[in-house]
Structure 1
Amino acid sequence: MIQSEPVTPPHLTALTALPIRALTPEDLRYCADLSEDRGWPREDHKWGLLLAAGSGYGVDAPDGRGLAAVCIVTRYGHTHAGTELAAIGMVLVAARYARRGLGRRLMTHLCDDVLKGVPLTLHATPYGRPLYEELGFVTCGRAEMLRGPFRPDPAVHTGGSGRVRPATAEDLPRIVHLDTEVFGSERTHMITRLPAFADRLVVMEDAAGELTGYAALWPNMDTHVVGPLIARDTTDAKALVTALAAGTDRPLRTDVDVRHEELLGWLKDRGLESVAFNAVMIRNIPGLPGDWTRRWAPLTVAAG
């Protein structure tokens, strides 16, 4: 008896032929649904920022149930080398459409059409890294995600080597200036949203009143995320984190460049635990711009 091959539904065989469209703020709920579908937190607050400051791309599910796939592109101004920079994040495919080439189709469209020739960066999970390598991305670093309740360190004073205080509206131009210098690319459209997005925004000044660092604390489900975190040295980074943590009872979450070993060790001593490692990857650029020694944690890995 000859057993016939199972018939694949037509709407699945044509999956990679489905059109890719630009997302709008009205798609926020569907993006959050897709996060939940893949076992991630919904992260509505973060999705709102990414859709407002970046450009979302997605594929509508052929069964009419929201989105089949989605990703976010955040474009930044020119780097010191005179080139653009764009970050790709939140690349998600609905579980019922996984492993059918949809993620590759979306990424190929972005890399070869929408962002052709543009220097790119992204944070890759171990699961996604092989695809990105096939698309020409190379690893240039790693970030460690930490999460947990923060226990204050009696040895750390929020004065640090300078003075930590809440940011004011007058500080915003100086924050943007410092951020551009350290990040290596202008991202005013993202940083100017921090006062409304974050629950706390603090700055550090030296004895002469020069702004040497800043940090934000923003809500994400049952945690508070520390990021961005920009500081002159480890002592100042500790002081900024301590100042932020004093204003919340939630567990902290952050992603720290693994080269900052002292800060990572201190955070673990303070109660945070390692959750995961992500590869920092780049394409069409020899390395990330800016000063990594003063860049401790990103606003969110989804935005580079």
Structure 2
Amino acid sequence: MTSASTTITVKPSEDTATTDAARLRPFEPGDLPAAHALSSTLNWSHRIEDWQFALSLGQGVVAERDGKILGTALSWQFGNYATIGLVIVAPELQGQRIGNRMMETLLDQLSPRNVLLHATVAGRGLYERLGFVPAGEIDQHQGVLAAVPALAGREGDRLRPLADADVESLIAMDARGAGMPRGELLRRLFAQERTVVLERGGQAAGFAVLRRFGHGHLVGPVAAPDFDAARVLISDCCRHAEGLMRVDVYAMSGLSPWLESLGLPRVGGGTIMVRGRVPGRGPAQGGWALVTQAIG
């Protein structure tokens, strides 16, 4: 997996094109406050810490005009796959192909990897023109829970905190559920607020990560051997945090009705889009909830 020390190369022709619109250049750590301000104008909930986390694990490009950042796009590399997210174009640059130019810059850098992203309705046309095809849907659930009942798991299952000895097996578990190897990402997530492990037959069989994100807490990723185990893990995370909770799940997971019954309504989502080979991922492989819609 790359880090922010590997920067995007912007072609000179792209960097100087349409000088009355914007120039593209690599996303630098010093751009984080401006990127955060840009996402805030669109009512995105990301904290600057969420932007910092995303950039520290990936690389990106910004669109700049008169010294002001008016567009962003980031990418993350995972073996033969990559994901793209945090694609933003300010309203004053809409219709000037800035989003297309930023995407082409990232895709040139990511070739020949297979690339995934989660598209809004507004962005889907752009991605289709760049060769992405739909491969599923995700549901974003968010709300404030008054109380979450403890769920009884399968007989013999137990929940426990993460242990050092679990890390490599959980990374392998996540790779199956996400369809790509994300070792460094998982290690960074495990260092955050809380990871709960589902033990079955004396072995780690699932896990969920709870951490601060946006205006509250986010649960994800979640890996589990079955639907009921995924519910037990998510429920446990919800009982260990107060205030706004968010969970982004695969629509095919069947978790949405249950999440809504807890007081977490569906407030958004997106289309999973892929350029290249579609990875095996999702509930059938043990993956139930995303890290974020941006990273996947």
Judge same fold: TM > 0.5, yes or no: yes
Calculate percent identity across the aligned residue pairs.
31
Cα deviation for residue 152 of structure 1 reads 4.6
**151 and 159 in structure 1: CA distance in 2 versus 1, 3 angstrom threshold:** farther
**1:63-212 equivalence runs, <5 A:** 63-65=66-68, 67-77=69-79, 84-111=80-107, 113-150=108-145, 152=147, 154=149, 156-157=151-152, 162-196=157-191, 198-206=192-200, 208-212=201-205
Q: 1:46 aligns with which of 38, 43, 50?
A: 50
What's 2:279 paired with? 288
Cα deviation for residue 123 of structure 1 reads 0.1
What's 1:232 paired with? 225
Cα deviation for residue 218 of structure 1 reads 1.5
- Distance in structure 2 (CA, Å) of the matches to 1:160 and 1:31: 48
Query: What SS does structure 1 have at the residue aligned with 2:39?
Result: helix
**181 and 13 in structure 1: CA distance in 2 versus 1, 3 angstrom threshold:** closer
**250 and 15 in structure 1: CA distance in 2 versus 1, 3 angstrom threshold:** farther
What's 1:5 paired with? none
- Distance in structure 1 (CA, Å) of the matches to 2:26 and 2:17: 22
Runs of at least 5 residues in structure 1 that lack an aligned partner in the other structure: 1-10, 78-83
Q: 1:222 aligns with which of 193, 215, 218?
A: 215
What's 1:298 paired with? 290
Question: Which protein has the larger Cα radius of gyration, Structure 1 or Structure 2?
Answer: 1
**246 and 17 in structure 1: CA distance in 2 versus 1, 3 angstrom threshold:** closer
- Distance in structure 1 (CA, Å) of the matches to 2:53 and 2:282: 25
What's 2:65 paired with? 62
Using structure 2 for the length normalisation, give the TM-score: 0.88
Structure 1 residue 275 corresponds to structure 2 residue 279: no
Q: Deviations over 1:29-65 (max 9, x none)?
A: 1221111122322422221111111112212x22222
Runs of at least 5 residues in structure 2 that lack an aligned partner in the other structure: 1-15
- Distance in structure 2 (CA, Å) of the matches to 1:114 and 1:280: 21
What's 1:14 paired with? 19
- Distance in structure 1 (CA, Å) of the matches to 2:281 and 2:136: 14
- Distance in structure 1 (CA, Å) of the matches to 2:163 and 2:269: 34
- Distance in structure 2 (CA, Å) of the matches to 1:289 and 1:30: 36
Cα deviation for residue 260 of structure 1 reads 1.5
**22 and 269 in structure 1: CA distance in 2 versus 1, 3 angstrom threshold:** same
* Count of aligned positions: 280
